[in-house]
Amino acid sequence: MPESISTPLTPSGELSPEAFQTYLNASLRALQDEIEKFDEVVPGEQAAASFEELRQRWGGRKTGVVTQISHLVKQAPTEHKRAFGISFNEFKDIVSHLLDGLQTRIQDASTFRRVLDGLDISLPGIARTPGIAHPLLTTMERIVEVFHHLGYSTELGPQVESDFYNFEALNFPENHPARDTQDTLQIAGQEAKPSRDRLLLRTHTSPVQIRTMVAQDPPLRIVIPGKVHRNEAADATHSPTFHQVEGLCVGPDITFSDLKGTLDHAMRALFGSGVKTRFFPSFFPFTEPSADVQISCIFCGGSGCRKCKHSGWIELLGCGMVDPAVFQAVAGERRRLGLDDAPYDPARVSGFAFGMGVERIAMILHGVSDIGTFYSGDMRFLEQFA
Ligand code: PHE
């Protein structure tokens, strides 16, 4: 019996149910105090031994506190036997619950201790840093975002493309020298197929213009981000696999002024409001007229520096008005598929298209001089974009 607990008898010497309950409560508090002391005990054999001693003292069959108290129940006056029994059973349950809880705690702690003992906490930990988006991806997203604000939506297409979408429908006839400008990686074993169905790795994102026009009626405003491939040797500014963002706007009265205004806005949104654009005559089979767009050098402001080869201008993208031959190819493909060809009657629609290289823009935005660093996976380079 814990010494700190006084007798269950009332001052007048009787054994009442209330006095008994008060006595049980005090006993439980005494047990809780003892259990709390284990908070300071280091897990291990010593703790297990102390626990065993505590468990014997309280739960021991012959002389344990619980057994001693059970004798009191037997001495209770007959009319109070039932009340004493209920209180005692509750008490017994709580005691065994408390002792079981302490036992689990001690066992868990010593298991943990064993694990800790085998652990060198002075070793450096494994730091798992959260990943970041690759700079090419963020650049691509930045470009796309500018056009989303102008009401464009995103379209995607396959990297393994057919000759029809990559070339023919874009007005690159078979065996025409225009195809030489985009040295192509062909998929092997396609010779048996009709030439329009032969597969290749797309050399530009322009085939998605055709795919979208075949599937959707005008008006259209789309941006096409994606990966493209050419049979080219890698050097500081070229990579056989690279990325483009393409744009296409088709409607009843789209003019070259719309093209100029759109790209002028986009360049200022990307490179800063002080940037000027200028358009140079160029050639693409699928646009007529075609232009190359240059921006005033963002490094020297146009006065000439090493970056712009002292010209004050940086060439950034290709563009032009959609060639009527492209609309004709789209109308033809729609007829072949049993779709309405009228919406792409070249007499009724016009449009413009543009395409830009993501790597080139990322290199300018971040001052990167070798395109290869984007693909190297070198953490010292990539971490700068975190
Ligand atoms: N597809 C062309 C290229 O890869 C770029 C371009 C796109 C030019 C759209 C004009 C219009 O070179």
> From ligand 1's centre to the CA of 373, what distance in Å?
25
Name the residue at shortest CA distance from atom 4 of ligand 1. 204
pLDDT at 337: 97
Name the residue at shortest CA distance from atom 6 of ligand 1. 355
Name the residue at shortest CA distance from atom 2 of ligand 1. 355
Q: Kindly report which listed range (146-150, 172-176, 246-250) carries the lowest average pLDDT score.
A: 172-176
Q: Looking up tokens 């160029």, which residue turns up?
A: 282
> From ligand 1's centre to the CA of 47, what distance in Å?
78
∠ CA(174), CA(178), CA(184), 5° rounding? 75
Under the banding of pLDDT at 50, 70 and 90, the label for residue 109 is confident
**86, two tokens:** 């209920």
Which residue from 172, 203, 206 has its CB within 8 A of the most atoms of ligand 1, so it is best to mutate? 206
Smallest CA-to-CA distance from 182 within 157, 207, 213 is with 207
pLDDT at 3: 54
Mean pLDDT value across residues 84-108:
91
Mean pLDDT value across residues 334-341:
97
Mean pLDDT value across residues 39-58:
85
pTM for the whole structure? 0.69
Atom of ligand 1 nearest to the CA of 244: 4
> From ligand 1's centre to the CA of 284, what distance in Å?
7
∠ CA(310), CA(302), CA(306), 5° rounding? 30
Atom of ligand 1 nearest to the CA of 204: 4
Amino acid identity for residue 373 in this structure: T
**9, two tokens:** 């008898």
> From ligand 1's centre to the CA of 241, what distance in Å?
16
- Residues with Cβ within 8 Å of 170's Cβ and at least 6 positions away in sequence, in order, are 206, 207, 209, 210, 285, 286, 326, 329
Residue 352 · residue 289 · CB < 8 Å: no
Rounded Cα–Cα distance for residues 74 and 81 (Å): 8
> From ligand 1's centre to the CA of 102, what distance in Å?
75
Under the banding of pLDDT at 50, 70 and 90, the label for residue 120 is confident
Q: Kindly report which listed range (104-113, 282-291, 307-316, 353-362) carries the lowest average pLDDT score.
A: 104-113
Upper half-sphere CA count for residue 66 (Cβ side, 13 Å): 20
Tell how far CA 350 is from the center of its chain. Answer: 39
Residues with CB under 6 A from ligand 1: 204, 206, 246, 284, 287, 318-320, 353-355
Rounded Cα–Cα distance for residues 275 and 328 (Å): 37
Amino acid identity for residue 366 in this structure: H
**314, two tokens:** 């940086």
